Amino acid sequence: MGMRAAVVGGGVGGLAAAIGLRAAGWSVTVLERSAALPETGTGLGIWPGAMRALDTLGVGQEVRRRGRRQASGGILRPDGSRIATIDVDRLERRHGEPVHLVTRPALLAVLAGALPAPVLRLAAPVADPADLVEAYDLVVGADGIGSVVRAALHGDRYPLRYAGTVAWRGVADIEVPAGGETWGRGRKFGLTPAGSGRTNWYAAVALPEGRPAPADDVAELRRLFGDWHQPIPRLLDALTPDGILRHEVRDLTPLPSYVSGRVALLGDAAHAMTPDLGQGACQALIDAVALAGCLRGAGDVPAALRAYDRRRRRPTQRIAAAARWAGRLSQARRLLPARDAALRLALAAGPPA
């Protein structure tokens, strides 16, 4: 009888881990609490390292086909003047691959389509991971920022931390010529063309934790950003309350280990980070490939998981720290010329690829 793995969570990292583990000879069951994969959702930027991970899993070309190449953009001030340029072409020259934009539902559909139907069990929440440890040779916690698997390993010793901002995001039925971000005093607004007359958008505002939600999100967004440069006001005029997501941004206190015995964490369950570098889904994909690689042919599962932890914990925690720093930079209300200079230096160094 072959080695059996239970993957808790059927998101990007969990499905990718299932594909990788099956290719490494494991029998896999994915337990997803939702009754169906999402049909709507905002876009993800798939950076070169994550695309290489998708190629390793055998689905890279399909993701490229369903996505689109991200064009270069800029980071602007509210009056439309330029702070810095986001040079995606330079990234492609350096790494041989551009950033590809794909919606979360499309990426999940590609990953799920690479698995035999019985592997993914929907409407299958996990209350006690200890039961899985008894039944399987490996348990993978890919169950997101509120991971029950992480709680079983670490309790409440490494809590989620408020990152200082409230974020809104959604998709607008409007087309914009280029993407990028606009940074004001303690707030920013981002746009990413999604094709077919649609645009992904997001906004973040530095606010105290626990501030009550506004009665009308659209009115609040128009109050905060309605006098910024075009096409932001035009996009805000096109918004309706349906489909707008609002949440306080949090990340995870760094863990001392992503593994314990025959249990491993990956993705947001291991290193939930702020969205400021656009690396959450990317790092989950890279985690999944690294985990499967360490477990291929492994006779000693705990030893293989320790190798995975050595490979992935420090890099992902560095990226999470950089994301938190970038978020704090965008929250600045004073010394904006110094903030802008720091941003240009960071972009010149280049993001994680």
Predicted pLDDT at 167: 97
Could you give the CA distance from residue 216 to residue 246 in angstroms, rounded to a whole number? 11
112: enclosing H helix or E strand: helix 104-113
Predicted pLDDT at 351: 60
- Pair of tokens at residue 245: 């997501």
Q: How far is CA 39 from the centre of its chain?
A: 17
| pLDDT tens per residue across all 353 residues of the chain | 489 999 999 999 999 999 999 999 999 999 999 999 998 888 899 999 999 999 999 999 999 999 988 887 889 999 999 999 888 888 888 888 999 999 999 999 999 999 999 999 999 999 999 999 999 999 999 999 999 999 999 999 999 999 999 999 999 999 888 889 999 999 999 998 887 788 999 999 999 999 999 999 999 999 999 999 999 999 999 998 888 999 999 999 999 999 999 999 999 999 999 999 999 999 999 999 999 999 998 889 999 999 999 999 999 999 999 999 999 999 999 999 999 999 988 887 666 66
Predicted pLDDT at 178: 81
170: enclosing H helix or E strand: strand 160-172
Candidates 151, 148, 140, 145; CA nearest to 294 is 140
Residues contacting 313, CB < 8 A, separation 6+: 255, 257, 258, 270, 271
Q: Which domains does the chain have, with CATH numbers?
A: 4-71+99-160+251-329 (3.50.50.60)
* Predicted TM-score (pTM) of this structure: 0.95
Predicted pLDDT at 316: 98
Predicted pLDDT at 190: 95
Predicted pLDDT at 352: 65
Phi, psi of 330 (to 5 degrees): -70, -15
- DSSP letters spanning 265-309: E-THHHH---GGGS-HHHHHHHHHHHHHHHHTT-S-HHHHHHHHH
Handedness of CA 302, 307, 308, 309 (dihedral sign): positive
29 to each of 23, 136, 182, 203, how far by Cα in Å?
14, 10, 43, 37
Predicted pLDDT at 350: 64
Contact of 112 with 226, CB cutoff 8 Å: no
Residues contacting 117, CB < 8 A, separation 6+: none
Could you give the CA distance from residue 126 to residue 246 in angstroms, rounded to a whole number? 26
